[in-house]
Chain A
Amino acid sequence: MSTKLSQLIWGLLFGVVFGFLLQKGGVASFDVIIGQLLLKDFTVVKIMLSAVAVGTIGIHLMKGFGWVQIKPKTGSWGRNAAGGLLFGIGFALLGYCPGTIAAALGNGWLDALAGGLPGILIGSGMLAAFYPKLKARIFHLGDYGDLTLPRLLKVNDWLVIAPLIAVIAVIFWLLERAGL
């Protein structure tokens, strides 16, 4: 079996696990996602920050052992802030994001199938059409390349990771104490 084909199969298998977890976590549900955006239900934040905490430690340990390379995405204010805010509007209107809509499809949500999915495809195609103009005029504004928080603060990775984990732990403690 070629490496290419075996990697496609790995992708599929990892996807099955990811989708399974998202559905069990409740984020295939519009109500849970909108509950998060209305600050009533913190399931989404709990899942994301737990994943980030565990993931950060693991991938930086593996990087330290020389097992993996980490290639942070490049970006700019023009790209991430403007695009991020637009994404947010769509996130609230649709009630799913590109990952959770896949889980919602598997869960049988027809608004995801007949409304959200064609919408995302149209929106992605529109961005592809506008890409040369946006790239020339907006994407370079406030460019910071592949900067990471440790390089921004000029410290060792672990001097960012340790406080980050502590902050996440405090957020979880506060959420549980508030009964959220």
Chain B
Amino acid sequence: MNGLTEIRWSPYIVGCAIGVLSWFTLLVSRHTLGCSTSFARSAGMIERLFRGRKVEQKAYYREYKPVVDWQWMLVIGMIIGAFIAAKSSGDFALRWIPDTWASVHGGNIPVRLLAALAGGVCLGFGSRWADGCTSGHGISGAMQLAVSSWISALCFFIGGIATAFLLYRVIA
């Protein structure tokens, strides 16, 4: 089992491997796994393209500078790693609409994109509001036993479960 060409690995094995990975990021790079700050830095970089260097004077971007850093490279690496994994099992495909979405909300592409866009806005806004995401708080912060991270992670799932039931059980 668990050959490189298998589509799915056991979630327990994957989880344990991510745990081990987090030892090494801390030991080698003095960083913990996280993603959402990189989207904020990217937003700053894009804003700088249009509005120039005064963007760097914004209070937020003075704290989270719009630059390429360790975590930004981590996120780029994640896209590459997922591509390799998907290719290795033949699971890679260009697709617009996930099955669960189509079965409840239909196969209209603009409708799905609009929902994804709105969801993305909430997610970007919420992750920076909470100062972390499912990896930064949910995995890295939780293993540091941080109160901020456990509260955040619980709220991610409370909000997520309530919204999912509304979208897929109540409305549908």
Contacts and interface: CB of A to CB of B under 8 A. Distances in A.
Given A106-B78, A116-B119, A134-B129, A8 B70 contact: yes
Contact of B86 (A21, A107, A114, A119): A107
Contact of B124 (A28, A122, A147): A122
Main secondary structure of the interface of B (DSSP, over half): helix
A49 B154 CA distance: 13
A161 B71 CA distance: 27
Interface in A76-128: 76-77, 79-95, 97-112, 114-128
A107 B79 CA distance: 8
A104 B16 contact: no
Nearest to A110: B96
B77 to A, nearest CB: 2
B122 A20 contact: no
Interface residues of B, number: 127
B75 to A, nearest CB: 5
Interface in A1-28: 7-26, 28
Interface string B1-22: 0000010110110111111111
Given A85-B155, A115-B117, A119-B119, A148 B146 contact: yes
B15 A54 contact: yes
Contacts of B96: 110-111
Contact of A108 (B93, B122, B155): B93
Contacts of A62: 23, 26-27
Given A62-B23, A84-B153, A11 B71 contact: yes
Interface of B: 6, 8-9, 11-12, 14-31, 33, 35-36, 38-40, 42-44, 46-47, 58-61, 64, 68-86, 89, 91-101, 112-165, 167-169
Interface of A: 7-26, 28-31, 34-35, 37-39, 42-43, 46-56, 58-59, 62, 67-77, 79-95, 97-112, 114-129, 131-132, 134-135, 144, 146-150, 152, 157, 160-161, 164, 172
